[in-house]
Amino acid sequence: MLNQTDLARVDLNLLVLFEAVIETLHVGRAAERLYVSPSAVSHGLGRLRRLLDDPLFLKTPRGVVPTARALELTKPIADVLAGVRGVVAAATPFDPATSTRRFAIGAPDAVSVVFLQPLLAAVRAKAPGIDLTLRQLLPVPGESAPERAWRGAFADLDDRALDIAIVPMNAVPARFDSRLLYDEDFVVAARAGHPFAKAPTLDRFCAMHHLVTSLGGDPHGFVDDVLAKQGRSRRVALTVPNFMLAMAVVADSDLIAALPRRFVQSHGKAAGVVAIEPPMPLGQSQLNAVLPRAAATDQGLVWLADRLVDAVGRKLSTRKTRSPHGTEGLQHRVRATQRRPVRDGAG
């Protein structure tokens, strides 16, 4: 245990370094996050080991693994850093009626359309001086673990380049808090009058020409995994880099696509696109708003997170359509991303 005299020699940067290493489990990646050299990280770890009288991290061919003591320290150190960040963030009292802050929110484009309009209305009504920046978030192609796939969003939260990131994952790193916004599932999107809508059977689904949303152009989506379990396959005739383009292409072609239900509900009618229940369960995912723990003492971020949750609630309260699959497969999409590389597209 450190006594009061020992605290005088504790460098807060060492705790930040510990946080980076425990999150990345790699000295080089921790160095990249902190914008320092790997040797600086190694030197800092040496100081931490002497300070805490424990090896903390053991080298492996793929990086480092934490000791039992390091795992015990993860949450306490995250709480300490969250408190420090909160003190800094809370230096100026927040009043939404007079604030002129700009907040940055990151989300996939199919998620942004669910909350953006009601959030803008709430901000205009309660905080006319506040401005928003909306950024599109995309997972890192080829990463199998969700925390690695969305590491860019987490890094931006750490650097305060983002205030809130909305991502499809349940468990977030210890230095963040999260709020569940809604559960999402997928439907088959097709132009109005598409012949598939008359008889949406599995055989006809497999016979159709499909579109997959994929930033990197990978034609294999999670729908292909579902089909493979049934000994089926399909033809992916086109890939596009985002959901909005997918909607536009589907509206003007005979291609069909698996798209998020609420995205199609929000924009499908205007585009001439209908939502068709898939011939097999495609599972669901949870969309969570992730924000730094410092938000607990940053009144502005708390206010924004509350407005975001309210905006989603109002938006969804006007749409009572639920998936016929109920809660079955709630974790399917999340578990699927943990078993294979996280795709940057829909299906």
Question: Is residue 143 pLDDT above 70, yes or no?
Answer: no
Amino acid 135: pLDDT = 93
Whether 194 has a pLDDT exceeding 90, the answer reads yes
Q: Going along 261-324, which residue ranges are E strands?
A: 273-276, 284-292
**How many other CB atoms sit within 10 Å of the CB of residue 304?**
27
pLDDT at 185 over 50: yes
Tens digits of residue pLDDT in 56-98: 999 999 999 999 999 999 989 988 887 777 666 556 688 999 9
- Residues 309-322: pLDDT tens digits? 998 887 666 554 44
Amino acid (one-letter) located at 147: E
Nearest to 18 by CA among 5, 282, 51, 314: 51
Most confident range (mean pLDDT) of 10-14, 71-75, 150-154, 332-336 is 71-75
Kindly report the average pLDDT of the chain as a whole number.
84
**Sign of torsion over alpha carbons 314, 317, 318, 324:** positive
For a pLDDT cut of 90, what percent of the chain falls above it? Answer: 57
pLDDT score for 339: 34
Residue 329: is its pLDDT beyond 60?
Answer: no
**What confidence score (pLDDT) does residue 88 get?**
63
Beta bridge partners of 260: 186
- As a whole number, mean pLDDT of residues 18-43 equals 93
Taking the CA atoms of residue 57, residue 59, residue 61 and residue 67 in that order, the dihedral angle to the nearest 10 degrees is -40
For 120, what's the count of Cα atoms within 13 Å in the CB-facing half-sphere?
Answer: 7
Please spell the DSSP secondary structure of 102-149, one letter per residue: EEEEEE-HHHHHHHHHHHHHHHHHH-TT-EEEEEE--PPTT--SHHHH
The whole-number pLDDT of residue 90 equals 59
Q: How does pLDDT run across 147-184, given as a tens digit for each residue?
A: 777 888 998 888 788 999 999 887 788 889 899 999 99
Supply the pLDDT for residue 299: 87
Distance CA 161, CA 57 (A): 29
Q: How far is CA 33 from CA 19, 23, 24, 26, 161, in A?
A: 11, 10, 9, 11, 13
Q: Categorise residue 56: left if φ over 0, alpha if ψ from -120 to 50, beta otherwise.
A: left
Domain annotation for the chain: domains and CATH numbers: 4-89 (1.10.10.10), 102-182+286-328 (3.40.190.10), 184-276 (3.40.190.10)
Q: What is the pLDDT of residue 159?
A: 78
pLDDT of residue 218: 87
pLDDT at 295: 72
Helices and strands (H, E) in the chain, number of each type:
14, 11
Predicted confidence band at 227 (pLDDT cuts at 50, 70, 90)? Answer: very high
Residue 112: how many CA atoms within 13 Å on its side-chain side? 18
User: Residue 142's pLDDT is what?
Assistant: 64
Residue 271 pLDDT > 70, yes or no?
A: yes
User: Of 176, 302, 294, 99, nearest to 165 (Cα)?
Assistant: 176
